[in-house]
Structure 1
């Protein structure tokens, strides 16, 4: 059973999506990922977006650790219902509404997002059948909605190729955990900005 690892709701069991509709992030990978995010200092107060949310475990973990808002985007009806259960659980423990569920296709959600909408931390854990061109297209739509110092985490099979990064998003690190590989990316720095420039709010220690 999946659980929230740390924060205000630490140790709380989460509902899982029945069957094999989704590929949940293991607690081992989740713990390693959030340890890194804590080191970057990107969670507290962050606007978090969890695309292809599955059970919403990554968004729930973010909410527990102090994110300001969390948007879970999941199209499958059963998975979306589980997201809602977990969102209600976290919101109840926090005593306020932090996590919001959107039953929508990821592409449609990003297309409908207001021009001013932006997120500080984004998770993408797409299903294996989503091919690289389709993933790259989603990342391209996402690029217009990233805060200047945003961090994007893409979770894929360790056998999958590196995502095709569109203009506006660039990879700065990757990490393999058994059958899982995490890709870390951020908004591309415009050519007019020097490579040593630190944008407002960006962690200077980020590779």
Structure 2
């Protein structure tokens, strides 16, 4: 069965309902930001974000980050607040993208870009240009559940030359499925399960390729 190419969040008609997320630490500590109430959009909970950024805190300052399946942008925004060099946000839900751009403008963040695209389509369009463009140092992968998107997303990140030599990749996945399939040169550093979700951190070892 072919894998779905349309990813991220289901797009719904405009509505007035919205949610709120809070930046945990850094320059924008305590700032509250809105995000649209869209089907499938589930910002990473505060407690999980705190755990994640405890894991990666030494690697965030100056890092070039990718927030794939961005949704509310909670992970990328937290990274920016904590000193990331830049963040690229990718999502295909128009409302989510619009609100994320508004939030970045509100925060006066000029080191981020937001692209409206299905994550898998965006990955497939990228060309390996390792010499022309540095790879991402830190990648957040929080795809919609029950869509089987992680294996292909991980493979494309690797095969398209989008990752730095020692890149860190954070993954949220369904705990019922066990450890996600990742490239052989990605080594798991941390993992934790809370209810139906498993949170894992991998490091890419370029020396182990092939």
**Fold shared per TM-score above 0.5:** yes
How far off its partner does 1:109 sit?
A: 1.9
Q: Which moved more, 1:142-151 or 1:76-85?
A: 76-85
Q: Distance in 1 between matches of 2:185 and 2:49?
A: 27
TM-score (norm 1): 0.81
TM-score (norm 2): 0.80
Q: How does 1:130-141 map to 2 (within 5 A)?
A: 130-131=147-148, 134-141=149-156
Aligned positions, number:
184
CA-to-partner distance for each residue in 1:151-186, whole Å, 9 max, x for gaps?
000012333321111244333331123433111112
Q: Distance in 2 between matches of 1:109 and 1:167?
A: 23
Q: Which residue of 1 aligns with 2:115?
A: 102
Superposition misfits of 4+ residues, deviation over 4 angstroms: none
Q: How does 1:35-184 map to 2 (within 5 A)?
A: 35-38=54-57, 41-90=58-107, 92=108, 96-114=109-127, 115-116=129-130, 117=133, 118-131=135-148, 134-143=149-158, 144-184=161-201
* Structure 2 gap ranges (5+): 1-19
Q: Check conservation: 2:165, 2:206, Cα contact below 8 A.
A: no
Q: Distance in 1 between matches of 2:96 and 2:208?
A: 41
Q: Check conservation: 1:155, 1:180, Cα contact below 8 A.
A: yes
CA-to-partner distance for each residue in 1:114-164, whole Å, 9 max, x for gaps?
423410000000001321xx3211101101211011100001233332111
Q: Distance in 2 between matches of 1:150 and 1:166?
A: 13
How far off its partner does 1:99 sit?
A: 1.7
Q: Distance in 2 between matches of 1:157 and 1:52?
A: 15
Coordinate RMSD, CA, aligned: 1.9
Q: Which residue of 2 aligns with 1:4?
A: 23
